[in-house]
Chains A and B, each alone.
Chain A
Amino acid sequence: MRHTISVLVENKPGVLARISSLFSARGFNIDSLAVGETEDPQTSRMTIVVKGDDSVLEQITKQLNKLIDVIKVSDFTDIKYVERGLALIRINAGKANRGEIIELANIFRTRIIDIASDSLMLEVTGDKDKLEAFIKLVSVYGIKEMCRTGEIALARGDNKRGE
């Protein structure tokens, strides 16, 4: 099962390495990992997407909590949360199909951020399903290059985070 874990950590050098090496040392698989500062510059939030059953998740959570620099670990599985990722995609777009691609881009509310004679670059945000649906649709035109962030997530306001 896919789990989104939010990890609040001290914003110190080496913390990312501690977390990523924990995952490799204990044989846990990371789907994606995104990290950035929070409203408090002394802390960072890491959003880690992992696959595993309940016992694996229990171990991941406990092992993360055991790290001295980890302040709080929340598994979003059973609560309401919002998740977003971002992709930059350069698609083959000659004269013949440029209009079609732009139409598709509009339907998905993506932004065109670069145009060349034979290609378009699109910026698309959304949860994992939306991104994957869009990528699948435009792949028929030929994706020249693509770059994706890991998902980031926050709990919705009507439940306390992870409690």
Chain B
Amino acid sequence: MIDREGKVEITGAQILIESLLKEKVEVVFGIPGGPALFLFDEIYKSGLNFVLARHEQGAVHMADGYARATGNVGVGIFTSGPGATNTVTGIATAYMDSVPLVLITGQVMSTLIGQDGFQEVDITGITRPITKHNYLIKDVSELAKTVKEAFYIASSGKPGPVLIDLPGDVQRAKYQFDYPKEVDIRSYKPTIEGHIGQIKKAAKIINNSKNPVLYIGAGVVVSKAQQEVLDISLKGQIPTTNTLLAIGAYPYESELSLNMLGMHGTFWANKAVQAADVIVAVGARFDDRCTGKVMEFAKNADIIHIDIDPSSISKILKTDIPVVGDAKVILTQMEPYIEKKDRHEWIAQIKDWKSQNPLRYNTDDNKLHPQYVIEKLSELTKGEAIVTTEVGQHQMWAAQYYKANGARKFLSSGGLGTMGFGFPAAIGAKIGNPDKEVVVIAGDGSFQMNMQEMAVCIVNDVSVKVIVINNQFLGMVRQWQEMFYNRHYSSSCLAKRKSCPPKCNTPQYGKCPVYVPDFVLWAKSYGADGLRVSSKKDVVPSLEKMLASKNSFVLDVKVEQEENVFPMVPVGNSLDDMLIFHG
């Protein structure tokens, strides 16, 4: 079709797909449905690489895992109504962890919006607080420009998900395709370079400090500032701690590495933070899981906060020196002003804390402790595998014992804490990194929240390895119930049946009812491989077998049921008040 000016006109659906191709989108995750069918007809014709998920939440987590593992924007296409609402948890997960996604939902005809038609839902209204931005397109002439903007907004500044709602008539309407080369949004100009005066002030405070600590978060990974962090930390001899989302961004073997801080952080990281006279936060947002009781957090420290998001600064605690901009750019600006230092007293103090209370669990007995499984996985893969986790105890053990060798190798739902994230995220990560080993460290509770996506692995030849740390419990819930609710195991036992005593709090393998599902049989029913491990001596051979497999694999590991995660800072406590493992 040619318009009056002699330009070729194509449909809105075609414009969308052409736009995605212009953005070099390699893969799209999603599920079709009524008001998106015209669009899916174009997908059929276009040859776009579309991965059909089995649940929209799974699809969004796949796009999220793909984005976290590759650094590209993750893309999803869905239908209206329930298809759209099923994406909500996935979107909120990505929003909390600043993951760039562009999601397109079909919508009823724009002329029918507001009439409560079949599968109509106000998805832009629903997702407003959990997207960085969203659009409802009513005029096809705006489509190409909107897609361009969406990709720009999703991936620039502090990244995040952007949703485009596309009514059926707009998919069909015709317009010329003219993809904009540049984006200019007058109201959206992220600051990149840091204010040099602030940077000099920050450097001076760091140089004059005795006990500085670098505290790095996901922003370091987003801005690819790992090397700059390392340079500054080595030059100034500044011990460095990381958040859950920055695992792997700082080398473990360095004596300056403090590992993770916070609720289940290391003893020495929390001690160092509390004793610090300067905290240099880079791309981290003082989440409550990191700070513990905020009033008590690093009480004697000056807070320097480097972040691209001005609203992160002084949101939780008062920042002394804010520097707004891109972490990599700012650290590069700052490096010349950082003086070479020898802080051997401070580093010796940290070593001392580390030897007082290293990460540990009971290694004397022959029982199958979950930490052992993760430690062995870490050794066997040398930290080179991409590990994703679900949410709960296994996630914290993974954070403590899996030594990811580099950024983007440990993918976990941090802010929202979404059970059901890890497995689909692993599928997305594997699709983005077909040559890398991708392993899910799952809990038996979490895994069941999105295990239907195994079909996606099988039909697409995407090999994902799942280690189910199976304690037959919602383990973190059980741990809290043991510690703070008088061992009232209320609705946390996943083996519990009607025939059990209603107030049972004495789980025991062999005595408890048979656990369902049988993860091994279940895996085999999909065509994946499966293996069960119930004793410590079988762990390493089983892991080796799993890693050698070309097929997707479920390793069901029956671990100690009432193992707890230590150290632990109970909610509301200061980081000084850690519960420590006593063997």
Contacts and interface: CB of A to CB of B under 8 A. Distances in A.
A109 B358 CA distance: 77
A71 interface: yes
A9 B187 CA distance: 8
B462 to A, nearest CB: 35
A66 B158 CA distance: 10
Given A68-B188, A71-B186, A55 B314 contact: yes
Contacts of A149: none
Contacts of B313: 62
A107 interface: no
B153 A65 contact: no
Interface string B73-90: 000000000000000000
B310 interface: yes
Contact of B136 (A10, A14, A68, A72): A14
A21 B186 contact: no
Interface in A62-112: 62-63, 65-66, 68-72
A68 B135 CA distance: 11
A18 B187 contact: no
A58 B313 CA distance: 10
Contact of A68 (B129, B187, B318): B187
Nearest to A63: B311
Contacts of B153: 68
Contact of A17 (B125, B309, B318): B125
A140 interface: no
Contact of B133 (A17, A25, A68): A68
Interface string A41-68: 0000000000000010011001101101
A5 B311 CA distance: 17
A63 B315 CA distance: 10
A18 B124 CA distance: 10
B129 A21 contact: yes
Interface in B295-325: 309-311, 313-315, 318
B128 interface: yes
B310 A21 contact: no
> Which of A62, A63, A65, A70 is the most central at the interface, judged by chain B CB atoms within 10 Å of its CB?
A62
Contacts of B314: 55, 58-59
Contact of A71 (B125, B187, B311): B187
Given A62-B310, A65-B310, A10 B187 contact: yes
Contacts of B129: 21-22, 25
B328 interface: no
Interface in A6-41: 9-10, 13-14, 17-18, 21-22, 25
A28 B187 CA distance: 23
> Which of B132, B186, B188, B311 is the most central at the interface, judged by chain A CB atoms within 10 Å of its CB?
B311
B185 interface: yes
Given A62-B311, A68-B153, A68-B187, 14 more contacts: A13-B136, A14-B124, A14-B136, A17-B125, A55-B314, A55-B318, A62-B310, A65-B310, A66-B309, A66-B310, A66-B311, A68-B132, A68-B185, A71-B186
11 contacts: A13-B136, A55-B318, A58-B314, A59-B311, A62-B310, A63-B311, A65-B311, A66-B309, A66-B311, A68-B153, A69-B187
